Amino acid sequence: MSADNGIYILKTKDNQYRVIYASAIENLYWNPLNTNSQNKLIPTRIIELYGKSKYTYDKNLARDIAFNMTRNTYLEYGVNEIVIDKTWRQILKEAKEIAPLEIKYFRRENDKYNYKWDIERLEEIINM
């Protein structure tokens, strides 16, 4: 059985560092509107995963936070850094533009699967 988890530091273009514990980090690349987006970080997924995390401009502090999070925790993928060439403000702006399109998609597909939770998360992004 795989844990499929790790600690992930997101570094943005404006040198913000955000640290999270996550499982299935590959979801950062999932786009319901375009299933061929495997190599591109999706702004709505970034905000969903990192949006409530605190940030720092101190790389060493971010690493300290990450390594402190590893204590007493089994991690399959350890501590990793994800770098994106966008500022946090750009990511949030793009997420707010994409979120209504994803909501529309999920509402259309809601008969097949229950996307209520996904829609609620996307509405939170719009209201940030």
pLDDT tens-digit series, residues 11-27: 999 999 999 999 999 99
Whether 5 shows a pLDDT value over 70: the answer reads yes
Please tell me the distance from the alpha carbon of residue 97 to that of residue 92, in angstroms, as a whole number.
9
pLDDT on residue 49: 97
Please tell me the distance from the alpha carbon of residue 16 to that of residue 87, in angstroms, as a whole number.
8
What mean pLDDT do residues 95-114 have?
89
Q: Domain ranges for the chain, please list them.
A: 5-126
Closest C-alpha to 99, from 109, 91, 110, 88: 91
| Alpha carbon separation from 22 to 33, 98, 123 (Å, rounded) | 23, 23, 22
Q: Please indicate, yes or no, whether the overall pTM of this predicted structure exceeds 0.85.
A: yes
* Average pLDDT along the chain: 93
